[in-house]
Amino acid sequence: MQVIDPKVKILKQLDTSFLLDSSSSQEDINNMQSELFNNIINHIEACNTFCYNNDLKESIKKGINLDILEHGTVYLTVPIANPDPKYKEDYMRRMQIVNFYQNNSESIVKGYKSEQDGVLYVYFITTNYRVIIENNRHTDLVFLFNSSEYHVKRNTYAIITNKYTANKFYKIKYLNTSISNPAIENDEFSIISHSFDENSIAKNAWINSCKESYKIYEALIDSGMSKESAYKILPDTVKVNMVITAFDDDFEALFKTLDSEDDIDYCDVVHMIAYDHDNTKISEEIADEMAEENSEESGKIGTAEEIGGDTELPK
């Protein structure tokens, strides 16, 4: 048994490498959307491996651990043309799509008036793959596009923490959270807590208590009890893997919980997320500025309106 520190790492869901402009063909758009869809699935699989390490397709088929699908972010871009009797069905279908996500609590829709000829508004929808699966909305993926400056962004973090802290995150309703069972490797387990750092007597007592809990756990397994049942005897400070995904505003709300929180282990994790979140934002702003400069020079990148149509953390 060992005492380890918590860890936090951002998991970036990839956009596509395709660059579209006003001359892009339907085949170009189809190729881009195919790559984007694969990136969503790959992101979900990375989260699934980190938390559950089971077969993703089988778990979906059996209806277990469906929370893992919530970590796949789907960005849709839906242009709405001026109403035209000739295209009434298409107009109504697009408006129905927009209305569905506007009324879905897991999604955010932003609409902007378009300056493109023949397009009245463009709606930028951010949702997650579980919403798509459970509501049979696969046909909406015809509007799947890269994330843009107009979409409300979501981010995913892979976290190594203890069971008690993970359960505190799980109770925060605006976070999409997945938590593994206690991590036991090579008949050993790790514990995480800084609560006892200032009191060596308490820390030794805590470690001895954890060792005794593990002996009971082994005895329960030897008696024929399932691991899922025996896990309950392990201490709340046992190591678990956790993945959380949320909108930017939700992370800001999470950071504000530090004002009224005195749990050291919880604060450690939130501080690490906040540090990573702030520095990632800065890096993305610099990258966006560089991309904008490059696009002005080359003129090859189209605008949104133009295309309106311990255990290691994951790497």
**Percent of residues, the chain, with pLDDT higher than 90:** 62
pLDDT range class, residue 309, cuts 50, 70, 90:
very low
CB-count burial class (<10 Å; 0-12, 13-18, 19+) for 7: middle
**DSSP string computed for 76-142:** EEEEEEPP-GGGHHHHHHHHHHHHHHHT-TT-EEEEEE--STTEEEEEEEEEEHHHHHHTT-GGGGG
**What does the pLDDT look like over 249-305, one tens digit per residue?**
999 999 999 998 889 999 999 999 999 887 776 666 655 665 566 555 444 333 333
pTM strictly above 0.95 = no
Cα distances (Å, whole numbers) of residue 101 to 107, 111, 130, 189, 198? 6, 12, 13, 43, 50
How far is residue 94's CA from residue 79's CA, in Å, rounded to a whole number? 8
How far is residue 314's CA from residue 310's CA, in Å, rounded to a whole number? 12
Of 107-116, 154-163, 193-202, the one with minimum mean pLDDT is 107-116
Which DSSP symbol is given to 302?
A: P
Task: Specify the amino acid at residue 101.
Answer: Y
**What pLDDT score was predicted for residue 137?**
95
**What pLDDT score was predicted for residue 286?**
59
Handedness of CA 218, 6, 258, 245 (dihedral sign): negative
pLDDT range class, residue 45, cuts 50, 70, 90:
very high
In the predicted model, what is the mean pLDDT of residues 79-93? 79
How far is residue 279's CA from residue 273's CA, in Å, rounded to a whole number? 10
How far is residue 236's CA from residue 144's CA, in Å, rounded to a whole number? 41
**What pLDDT score was predicted for residue 298?**
43
pLDDT higher than 70, residue 79 = yes
pLDDT range class, residue 63, cuts 50, 70, 90:
confident
Three-state DSSP at 262 gives coil
Of 88-97, 194-203, 248-257, the one with minimum mean pLDDT is 88-97
How far is residue 272's CA from residue 278's CA, in Å, rounded to a whole number? 10
pLDDT range class, residue 82, cuts 50, 70, 90:
confident
Give the residue extent of every domain in the chain: 14-153
**What pLDDT score was predicted for residue 43?**
96
**What does the pLDDT look like over 220-252, one tens digit per residue?**
999 999 998 999 999 999 999 999 999 999 999
pLDDT higher than 50, residue 11 = yes
**What pLDDT score was predicted for residue 307?**
31
**What pLDDT score was predicted for residue 278?**
78
How far is residue 242's CA from residue 52's CA, in Å, rounded to a whole number? 10
CA triplet 185, 191, 197: central angle to 5 degrees? 155
Which DSSP symbol is given to 233?
A: G
pLDDT higher than 90, residue 154 = yes
pLDDT higher than 70, residue 172 = yes
